[in-house]
Amino acid sequence: MAKILVCDNEEDTVVLIESLLKGEGFEVVKAFSGEDALEVWEREKPDLILLDIMMPGLSGWDVYWKIRKKDKEQKVIFISVLEVLDERKENLKKEGVTDYILKPFNTDDLVKRVKAALE
């Protein structure tokens, strides 16, 4: 089964997503900061990353671009409270972002989109 890295500085969000994904049979590794995310990514080589954008220190954007320099194929879904226009979402996809999920998210929708990203 696929390995998913979940990174968010809000522990409740990470625990919720971990519970949802483990319930679907996924292996989940966690990080609570951008710096942690890079370390876990290097060590674990996940199939997919769920990455919060707004984090103190190294932001999700920073993490994304550091990973992108090393691995152009890494699948990343941003999760954020920042609503973005459809046009911006299209640009993100052109830049290589797999998907963009708005918080608060519907749990069924999150699982469905994770599965779609991994297909």
DSSP string, 58-108: S-HHHHHHHHHHH-TT-EEEEEES----HHHHHHHHHTT--EEEESSPPHH
Q: What is the pLDDT, as a whole number, of residue 89?
A: 80
In this prediction, residue 90 carries a pLDDT of 84
Q: Which domain, by its residues, includes 33?
A: 3-118
Bridge partners, 5 (sequence order)? 29, 49
> How many separate domains does the chain show?
1
At how many degrees (to 10) do helices 60-70 and 34-44 cross? 30
Can you give the CATH number for the domain in which 70 is found? 3.40.50.2300
Please state the pTM of the whole predicted model. Answer: 0.94
Both structure tokens of 84: 């973005």
Per-residue pLDDT reduced to its tens digit, 16-33 = 999 999 999 999 999 999
pLDDT digits (tens, 9 = 90+) for 49-108: 999 999 999 999 999 999 999 999 999 999 999 888 778 888 888 888 999 999 999 999
